[in-house]
Amino acid sequence: MAILLIRQDGKTSQWLNAFKSQASQIECFDYNEPHPKETITMALVWKQPHGLFEQYKNLKCVASMGAGVDFIFEDPSFHQELLMTRVVDPLLITDMEEFVTAQVYAYMKGLYQYHSQQSFSLWQQNPYLRKKDITIGIMGMGVLGSATAKALSDQGFNVLGWSNSKKQIEGITTYEKVDLDLFLEKTNVLVCLLPLTPDTNGILNESLFSKLPRGAYLIHVARGPHLVGEDLIQSIDKGQMCGAAIDVFPTEPLDTKSPFWGHSKIHITPHCASISSPESVVAQIVVNYNRLTSHQPLLNQVDTLKGY
Ligand code: NDP
Ligand code: OXD
50 noted as active-site residue: no
Q: Residue 52: what pLDDT?
A: 98
Contact 84, 42 (CB under 8 A): no
Q: Please, is 178 exposed, middle or buried when counting C-beta atoms within 10 Å of its C-beta (0-12, 13-18, 19+)?
A: exposed
Ligand nearest to the CA of 196: 1
* Reported pTM: 0.98
Query: How many Å apart are CA 119 and CA 178, to the nearest integer?
Result: 45
Q: Residue 81: what pLDDT?
A: 96
Q: Number of helices (H) and strands (E), helices first, in the chain? A: 10, 12
Residue 65 Cα, ligand 2 centroid: separation in angstroms? 8
Ligand nearest to the CA of 67: 2
Ligand 2 pocket test, pick from 74, 92, 246, 247 with the greatest ligand atom count within 8 Å of Cβ, gives: 92
Mean residue pLDDT of the chain comes to 98
Within a 10 A sphere around the Cβ of 291, how many other Cβ atoms?
16
Residue range 90-94: mean pLDDT, rounded: 98
Quick: pLDDT tens for 235-276: 999 999 999 999 999 999 999 999 999 999 999 999 999 999
Ligand 2, CB within 6 Å, residue ranges: 66-68, 275-276
Distance of CA 131 to the CA centre of its chain: 25
Listed in order, strand segments (DSSP E) in the chain are: 2-6, 28-30, 40-45, 61-64, 83-85, 135-139, 158-163, 173-176, 189-192, 216-220, 241-246, 266-268
**Beta-ladder partners of 218:** 190, 244
Quick: pLDDT tens for 113-149: 999 999 999 999 999 999 999 999 999 999 999 999 9
Ligand nearest to the CA of 273: 1
Q: Please, is 173 exposed, middle or buried when counting C-beta atoms within 10 Å of its C-beta (0-12, 13-18, 19+)?
A: middle
Active site residue: 7, 223, 226, 267, which one?
223
Q: Residue 261: what pLDDT?
A: 98
Q: Residue 49: what pLDDT?
A: 97
Minimal-distance CA residue to ligand 2 atom 2: 66
| Greatest alpha-carbon span in the chain | 66
130 noted as active-site residue: no
Residue range 182-191: mean pLDDT, rounded: 98
Contact 44, 65 (CB under 8 A): yes
Return the exposure string of 97-109: e unless at least 16 CB atoms fall within 10 Å of the residue's CB, then b: bebbbebbebbbe
